[in-house]
Amino acid sequence: MCDNKRPETMERITTPELANAFIEKELAALRAQIGDGKVLLALSGGVDSSVVAAMLIKAVGKQLTCIHVNHGLMRKGESEEVIRVFGEELGANLIYVDATDRFLDKLAGVSDPETKRKIIGGEFIRVFEEESKKLTGIGFLGQGTIYPDILESDGIKAHHNVGGLPEDVEFELVEPLKFLFKDEVRVVGKALGLPDSMVYRQPFPGPGLGVRCPGAITRDRLNALREADAILREEFEKAGLMGKVWQYFTVVPDFKSTGIKNGKRSFDWPCIIRAVNTRDAMTATIERVAWDVLQRITDRITHEVEGINRVLYDLTPKPTGTIEYE
């Protein structure tokens, strides 16, 4: 299938100049493909969909409609950033759907990891379909497919992401990044003027914080997890670890232990910190985070996050642990 093979003559995009040349050529190709048609894009705010959105906005402007579905399992500030960057700064047609209640109601009481993933994936498709049916004249569907997705069609994304996008819709696919590797997507994103917080974003699973809130998700534990994650990210950034450590996050498991908070006995959750490095996510090693950084994070999480009274550091490489907890 030569359509899905990176041209041998294609130079690796490593500099802003090469990125600009790629962007210029790709914008012309997008305009030729789309003409005066209308394009729809599911914009999660991850690196790939963000870069596709920025390219399509440049190529066809208001002929693009982006749908951002907030499934209630986003990290702190993530949906707000999508709205600010794409809706306000880049002036995209952006439909924002806050489907938090819908997802969390469906997930209530569900503790099996695969069932949780299926509910999240299935509900995502339904919300996206409902929204797209309200639009008329859409001929194209933008997708953030990148080259590793094609090379490893049974790779991590394909393995994990239950569902994907609806199959029964008859849109022609628009995939401007399909021959790029992740590092090239980042160089292109930077050249397009996207903020570093989007371009250098660490991988974030489709089911979001749902797989870091093991067992049946409750709103209060999910909130504690989101706040703890925000503190971890802030402190890693301050310590110069953002962009250096491959993936770092918190997990708030579903059990409680005793503690003392504000002079009173507490019975609260622990928070687990995971910080790993890897090349391909198939194996991973543990980042040796400096003790004082870990102590500062522990201090902040236990004092600032309601419902958490302990912080633990996960020393387990992959294997034997997976990177995520579910």
Q: How far apart are CA 77 and CA 202, in angstroms?
A: 15
Q: How far apart are CA 271 and CA 307, in angstroms?
A: 10
Q: How far apart are CA 168 and CA 176, in angstroms?
A: 22
* Half-sphere exposure in the Cβ direction for 297 (13 Å, CA): 30
User: Which pair of structure tokens corresponds to residue 241?
Assistant: 């670890």
Minimum CB separation of residue 65 from ligand XMP in Å reads 23
Minimum CB separation of residue 20 from ligand XMP in Å reads 29
Q: How far apart are CA 214 and CA 249, in angstroms?
A: 14
Nearer to ligand XMP, 31 or 318 (CB): 318
Minimum CB separation of residue 173 from ligand XMP in Å reads 19
Nearer to ligand XMP, 57 or 107 (CB): 107
Nearer to ligand XMP, 207 or 270 (CB): 207
Nearer to ligand XMP, 100 or 161 (CB): 161
Minimum CB separation of residue 139 from ligand XMP in Å reads 27
Minimum CB separation of residue 309 from ligand XMP in Å reads 26
Name the region of 77 (left: φ>0; alpha: ψ -120 to 50; beta: rest).
left
What end-to-end distance do the CA atoms of the chain give, in Å?
A: 35
User: Which pair of structure tokens corresponds to residue 20?
Assistant: 């600009």
Nearer to ligand XMP, 26 or 149 (CB): 149
Q: How far apart are CA 127 and CA 67, in angstroms?
A: 10
Minimum CB separation of residue 325 from ligand XMP in Å reads 8
Question: Is the omega angle on the peptide bond into residue 320 within 30 degrees of 0, that is, cis?
Answer: yes
Q: Quote the distance between the C-alpha of residue 116 and its chain's center.
A: 17
Nearer to ligand XMP, 206 or 307 (CB): 206
Name 251's bridge partners: 272
The residue among 107, 81, 106, 75 whose CA lies nearest residue 96 is: 81
The residue among 222, 233, 232, 274 whose CA lies nearest residue 71 is: 222
Nearer to ligand XMP, 86 or 249 (CB): 249
Minimum CB separation of residue 148 from ligand XMP in Å reads 12
> Tokens 């998700």 — which residue?
217
The residue among 59, 64, 50 whose CA lies nearest residue 28 is: 59
Interface with ligand XMP (CB under 6 A): 156-157, 160-161, 203, 205-207, 211, 247, 281, 318, 322-324
Nearer to ligand XMP, 142 or 205 (CB): 205
